[in-house]
A and B are shown apart, each in its own frame.
Chain A
Amino acid sequence: MKCDSLLADCVDTGLILLDRAGRVRVWNRWIAQRAARPAAGAFALTLAEAFGAHIDPRLALVVREALDFGWSARLSHALHPMPLPLFQPGGDRSERMLQSIDVTPVDTDGQRHCLLQVRDVTETVRREILLKQQARQLRQDLQRLSRAQAELQRSEMRFRELARQAPAGLFEADSEARCIFLNERCEQLVGHKLADIAGKPWLELLPPGEEARVRDSWLLAVRSATRFAEEFRYPHPDGRPLWMRAEAGPLRDEHGHISGFIGTLQDVTEFHERASRNEFRANHDSLTALLNRDRFERHLRAAISGAREVTDRLALLFIDLDDFKQINDTHGHQAGDTVLKVVASRVRRVVRGEDRVARYGGDEFAVLLVDAGDDLTLASIVAKIAHAVALPINLGHCHVRVGCSIGVAVYPDDGADPHSLLIRADQRMYGAKRGEL
């Protein structure tokens, strides 16, 4: 027995051996330390005497079964957390030690005994609680992550479908204006596949005249992180000259820096053409396509204010057709219109491109020569105009001739403002008609 107890004191497990009558025979040091009762004090006591009444009733039951029937039993910590009042050595005895107990029948000396092996599972419990917390945390993280991923997928799908169905061209470009994304519509508009133009700035697709202007605007938008909006001419690869409108807003990376732009591209060619037709109509005479009176006078004012700074001479010519009413009366209005159109185009051809020609009203025309030269040059131009007008005009069924009277006023010689120049030219034109020239 001496040897037995020596061995029993060496193991890191609690050992209690009970005899047939349920009285303590072995009470090892491990138990003694945790039960606060030395082996000598426990010997020959029953469990109830040794521990008081604070024993899990199931432990008492299985000890009885081991002694009476020879059965073994395990009291797991999970279902019986603290069957015996044992406490951590050195602890304050306020809380029982977490334990798990194996109960086995042992036959020695022809006698049935019962062995209790008590394990301290405090550390195991702590570890498993931690493990479970980690598992729970991990599961929550995973759920969060998969929710976020699903949301991301949904929004990406939403965006793709929107981009596919959108009637406008959609594009994304980095801050160097290199295309990263084009929807199908955008590829149609620019006439290039993304794969073909990716990696080079889209600005390079523009005609040289437009590229510099739009690039400045793009760089400004990148620098100031503002919205980019430009209209520009765009020669489509299939040859159509188009007008495009690009609008884009800045995209920021995680550091808040501008990483690129995302926006729309629209074909505004029709809009542009309509606008320029409207503008033309507002400024031009519908029959002859010459400037109208209003527009002409604006050019005149602009030319005078421009001329004040240099020493250019401007000449204002008033041309009135002679006997135009007679052509109208004899050959009809259609013939009259033809005459006006022919005269307009002849005058237009006599003067230089930068000179302005207008139909001033009825059968009156006005010409602004922006660099009139000396009197001699001016006189030769006037003569050329008169000559050109006087050539026969083909009306289809016959030819007619129409003469004209021309009045000239020169800036600054004849006046320093548009009004006086106009009056002067008008007077001289009437003078010419009356044969004063």
Chain B
Amino acid sequence: MRAFTALELDALTEAFNLSLGEATAAFSAIVREEIELSVPVVEFVARDELARRLQSGQAGGVEDRLCRINQHFRTGDGFATDALLLFPEQGSLEIVRRMLGEDTSAEHITELEQDALAEIGNIIINSCMSSLADLFGSEIIGSLPSVQSSSVARLLEDKSPDSLILVARIGMSMSAHNLSGFVLFLMDVPSIDHFMAQVSRLFGLPEAPAERS
């Protein structure tokens, strides 16, 4: 499998940023407040490497929990991906509560807060997906979002160890709050090949010879 070129990753980043513009508009309308969403970096990472990176990047240590919003997407012609949005639980709770205008600091996330998180994740993931759908030029059917919260160590346990993950780092800021998270697209090998071919074709970049390992 070949690696993405810097140009291709730049093009992907731009595509994500464009579609996140819509998500930003949707959010601002919902909470009637300026919200910024951005994708500074897009890259491909192996599952274990990502887990390692998530662990070492945690300010509060391994004990911190992450909030994971998961949606499954598939196309009619066999492309499938799990889209995951990851946010630190504490920070995302703060944002949700701010959106709801609540001052409580209950330790655990409530059912309604979890629902609100699902919707926020849903908006972000759908808008990212829209840019992929544009790439593929085909319909991508998405499932409803599900919310889980778990420690970093267990976060990707249910995903295949050899899956390659397209990682888009997401920055979200609202008033004084800044939250940094990730949108992950987990794909199996055929899906990745398919995806790469589409990316090369769409951005008009020369298709590199496939290197299978």
Contact = CB atoms under 8 A, between A and B. Distances in A.
Interface of A: 58, 65, 69-80, 100, 102, 104-105, 121, 124-125, 128, 131-132, 135-136, 139
Contact of A135 (B26, B100, B104, B130): B104
A125 B145 contact: no
B145 A124 contact: no
B115 A132 contact: no
A401 to B, nearest CB: 108
B112 A125 contact: yes
24 contacts: A69-B133, A69-B140, A70-B141, A71-B141, A72-B142, A72-B144, A73-B123, A74-B118, A74-B144, A74-B145, A76-B118, A78-B100, A78-B113, A78-B115, A80-B30, A80-B119, A100-B115, A104-B143, A105-B141, A128-B110, A131-B110, A132-B104, A132-B110, A136-B104
A100 B110 CA distance: 15
- 9 tightest A-B CB contacts, nearest first: A78-B116, A76-B115, A70-B141, A76-B119, A76-B116, A72-B144, A135-B106, A132-B104, A71-B142
B18 interface: no
A125 B29 CA distance: 23
A3 B141 CA distance: 27
A119 to B, nearest CB: 9
B144 A78 contact: no
B129 interface: yes
Contacts of B51: none
A65 B110 contact: no
Interface hub of A73, A135, A139 (most chain B Cβ within 10 A): A73
Contacts of B133: 69
Interface in B98-120: 99-100, 102, 104-106, 110-113, 115-116, 118-120
A102 B144 contact: yes
Contacts of A104: 143-144
Main SS class of interface, B: helix
Interface size range on B against A: 20 to 34
A384 to B, nearest CB: 102
A79 B104 contact: no
A435 to B, nearest CB: 116
A61 to B, nearest CB: 8
B122 interface: yes
B33 interface: no
A132 B105 CA distance: 9
Contact of A72 (B71, B96, B100): B71
B70 to A, nearest CB: 12
Interface hub of A69, A77, A80, A136 (most chain B Cβ within 10 A): A69
Interface string B128-164: 0110010000011111110000000000000000000
